[in-house]
Amino acid sequence: MNAADWKPNAPDGAREAHRFIDYFIRNGVTKGSVLKSVELTYARSNVYFDDVYTYFEKTGAFNVACTKGCAMCCHTMVSVVPPEAFYLANYIRTEFDADTSRKMIERIVAHDAEHRGKSGAARHVGRIACPMLDPDTHLCTVHSARPLTCRSMHSGDVKPCQVAFDTRDAYHPAPSHALFFKNTQAYYDAFGTALDQSGLVVEPLELNAALATIFTGKNVFVRWLKGENPFEEATAEAALTDAPPPS
C-alpha cells in the first residue's frame, strides 16, 4: 500500500476476542490477569488513537476540536465493562496517597447515592459532573486509567458542545468520527466474548454505580470471578430509563 493511502484499521471485535481468549487460557482468569488485560487494552488503544490522530493530521479528514480542560462531555453517563471498573477501583486505591484515595472513594460513593439510575441525558441537563473530574482544573484525575468510553469521546467543533452545555440540550449534535467509537465497541465485544466463555457476567455498567459497588460491597472482585453478578443494580441499562424526550 502506498504510504499516502495509509489509514488506521479499527480493531476488530472478533479478532480481539480471540486474542483475549488465548490470553486467559494462558494466564487463567484471575484478579491479576483481568487487571493486566485492561492495562494491555488501554496501551493498545493509545497506539491506535495516536495513529488516528496522525491520519487526521495528514489527510485533514477530520479536525478534533477537544482541548485540555474542556470537560463538557464529563457531565453525562459513562458505561464500562466490569474489568474496567475493577481496574479503575484498583487505580484509585493504589495510585494516590491514602487521604486523597479515601476522599475520592467517599466522593464517588456519595455521588452514586445521589445520582444512581440517572440517564446520560439527565446528567447532562443537571450538569452533573463526574466525581473524578477536578472542579478547579476541569482535568480528569484518573486520566491514565479512564474507561474506553471516555477515551472515545471527542468533537469536531467546540461550538455545538458549548450550545448543548449552555442550553442543557442533551440531544444537540456535535460532529464526530466513527474511528473513535469503533475502538471502544471492539474491546467491549472482545471482553464480553472472552469472559462469557469463562462463565463470567460481562454487561455494560454505569461507571460510578460500578465503582461504588466495588468500594462498599464485600469481596466483589472474588464474587464476580466466581460467576456471580454483584453488579445487578449498577447496569448502564438501568440508567437509561429516565432520559427526557428530545426537544
- In the chain, the N- to C-terminal Cα span, in Å, equals 47
Question: What Å distances lie between residue 218 and 16, 20, 165, CA to CA?
Answer: 32, 27, 38
x-or-dash pattern for ligand SF4, window 37-76, by CB under 6 A?
A: -------------------------------------x--
If the CB atoms of residues 133 and 158 are measured against ligand SF4, the closer one turns out to be 133
Question: What Å distances lie between residue 140 and 96, 134, 144, 172, CA to CA?
Answer: 14, 6, 9, 24
Output the nine-digit C-alpha cell for 237. Answer: 441499562
CA pair distance 137, 114, nearest whole angstrom: 23
Q: Which contiguous run of DSSP H or E holds residue 205?
A: strand 205-206
If the CB atoms of residues 85 and 179 are measured against ligand SF4, the closer one turns out to be 85
**Taking CB under 6 A as the criterion, which residues in 191-210 touch ligand SF4?**
none
CA pair distance 31, 222, nearest whole angstrom: 8
Contacts of 156 (CB under 8 A, 6+ apart): 62, 63, 64, 65, 174, 175, 176, 177
**Taking CB under 6 A as the criterion, which residues in 142-201 touch ligand SF4?**
142, 146, 150
What minimum distance in Å lies between the beta carbon of 123 and ligand SF4? 10
CB distance 244 to 170 below 8 Å: yes
Confirm or reject binding of residue 130 to ligand SF4 (CB under 6 A).
Answer: yes
If the CB atoms of residues 78 and 195 are measured against ligand SF4, the closer one turns out to be 78
What minimum distance in Å lies between the beta carbon of 188 and ligand SF4? 16
If the CB atoms of residues 118 and 146 are measured against ligand SF4, the closer one turns out to be 146
What minimum distance in Å lies between the beta carbon of 67 and ligand SF4? 14
| DSSP state letter for 96 | S
Instruction: Give CA angle at 179 (51, 191), nearest 5°.
Output: 95
Near ligand SF4 by CB under 6 A: residue from 77, 132, 210, 240: 132
What minimum distance in Å lies between the beta carbon of 78 and ligand SF4? 5
x-or-dash pattern for ligand SF4, window 76-115, by CB under 6 A?
A: --x-------------------------------------
Confirm or reject binding of residue 240 to ligand SF4 (CB under 6 A).
Answer: no
CA pair distance 138, 115, nearest whole angstrom: 20
Chain residues in the site for ligand SF4 (CB under 6 A): 74, 78, 130, 132-133, 140, 142, 146, 150
